[in-house]
């Protein structure tokens, strides 16, 4: 177990009414479609709710704890995004510069012509890159053996980038939106620009300044991680290694839970970190309150402002746009949500979801060990509505 004195803390102001509503949601899902969960709700900088429920490991009977470390999957992306924006603030990176400045061999093509991808394209997922898990087995990424960053492909980042650059872009950069391996490419840009491994860049720019000692690319104690489970018709099953989980129309996500403890695995900027819910809350609260000591307030404002017009609605849903690494709510009515305009959110495919509603002063983090139900199953909206007292 982690040393609780090392976990970032917030002043507590329990909200009994909110707790009753969120407890009811957790009690309804944990033990059925969800094996274990940790939920934090922060309002105006005060922790109003915190609970660990269910099991970190069902078969051994190990209970979930508030500081249990998880495989973060795409919760990695905010850490790498903030590290990149910190280097932008320092003048080491430029948002609208072509990434060939740092990755001269990364030159994918669209419609037969080389396409100029910028750092902004990577951050906004408008680069034309994709994810293999969404393509189906006959898609160009699965055929090329491109890793989505959560398996153990048997080769390194340079080889994955070579394969990725050789695959055709889905669209011309800037012309559309598609969730993608862009943040893995961003991680390679950070390494090249800083001249250091990505893990060191993220530590120096993000986790170190915030004192997040349990968020990293290789688990210090893999046995302490929450065990990974996957959806099945009969309920959550313990993941094998590897584990293929059907996803979307004909696609499949290939997980390799052992990657989290493999020091030889390349650092996936989009999916490769492990960490705890309290430490992620600390990052989100840092951003919600202006960004210091990591980013300038103007940079946080750009990160959390819609950068793509209506391009992301086909992928995220009506009323939603996308900023520099996060989904941004533009129209709550169209989005059918009690969250206020300006809310930003995302999740992680191992079973996580989170959002920040600046207008309400809310930061809400739900980590589970059940893929993908904890990310985009009904528990996501149920906890959201319980926090607002909606529904």
Q: Active-site positions?
A: 74
Torsions phi, psi for 109 (to 5 deg): -125, 150
E strands, 197-351, are 229-230, 237-238, 243-247, 251-255, 274-275, 320-322, 327-329, 344-348
> Using CA of residue 166, residue 170, residue 174, residue 178, what is the dihedral sign?
negative
What span, in angstroms and rounded, lies between the C-alpha atoms of 99 and 345? 26
Encoded tokens for 56: 């970190």
Encoded tokens for 376: 């985009």
The residue written with tokens 């055929």 in the block is 143
Contact 283, 79 (CB under 8 A): yes
Q: Quickly count: other Cβ atoms within 10 Å of residue 249's Cβ.
A: 8
In this structure, the strands spanning 251-255 and 243-247 are antiparallel
Copy the structure tokens of residue 288.
């919600």
Residue 272 · residue 287 · CB < 8 Å: no
């Amino acid at each position: 177990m982690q040393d609780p004195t090392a976990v970032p803390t917030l002043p507590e102001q329990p909200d009994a009414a909110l707790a009753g509503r969120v407890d009811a949601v957790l009690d309804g899902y944990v033990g059925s479609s969800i094996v274990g969960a940790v939920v934090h709700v922060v309002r105006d900088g005060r922790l109003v709710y915190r609970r660990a429920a269910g099991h970190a490991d069902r078969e051994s009977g190990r209970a979930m704890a508030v500081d249990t470390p998880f495989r973060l999957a795409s919760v990695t992306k905010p850490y790498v995004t903030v590290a990149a924006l910190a280097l932008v603030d320092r003048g080491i990176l430029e948002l609208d510069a072509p990434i060939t400045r740092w990755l001269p061999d990364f030159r994918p093509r669209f419609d037969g012509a080389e396409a100029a991808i910028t750092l902004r394209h990577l951050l906004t997922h408008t680069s034309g890159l994709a994810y293999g898990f969404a393509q189906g087995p006959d898609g160009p990424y699965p055929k090329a053996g491109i890793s989505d960053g959560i398996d153990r492909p048997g080769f390194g980042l340079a080889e994955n980038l070579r394969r990725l650059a050789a695959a055709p872009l889905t669209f011309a950069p800037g012309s559309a939106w598609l969730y993608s391996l862009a943040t893995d490419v961003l991680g390679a840009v950070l390494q090249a620009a800083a001249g250091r491994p990505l893990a060191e860049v993220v530590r120096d720019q993000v986790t170190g300044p915030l004192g997040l000692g349990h968020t990293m690319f290789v688990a210090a104690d893999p046995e302490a991680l929450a065990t990974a489970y996957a959806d099945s018709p009969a309920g959550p099953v313990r993941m094998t290694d590897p584990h293929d989980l059907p996803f979307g129309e004909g696609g499949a996500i290939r997980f390799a839970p052992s990657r989290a403890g493999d020091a030889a695995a390349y650092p996936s900027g989009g999916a490769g970190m492990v960490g705890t819910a309290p430490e992620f809350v600390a990052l989100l609260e840092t951003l919600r309150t202006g960004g210091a000591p990591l980013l300038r307030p103007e940079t946080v404002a750009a990160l959390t402002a819609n950068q793509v017009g209506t391009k992301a609605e086909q992928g995220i849903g009506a009323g939603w746009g996308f900023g520099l690494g996060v989904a941004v709510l533009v129209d709550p009515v169209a989005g059918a949500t009690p969250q206020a305009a300006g809310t930003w959110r995302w999740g992680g495919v191992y079973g996580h979801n989170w959002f920040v509603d600046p207008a309400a002063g809310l930061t809400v983090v739900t980590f589970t060990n059940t893929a993908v139900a904890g990310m985009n199953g009904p528990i996501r909206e149920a906890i959201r509505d319980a926090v607002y007292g909606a529904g």
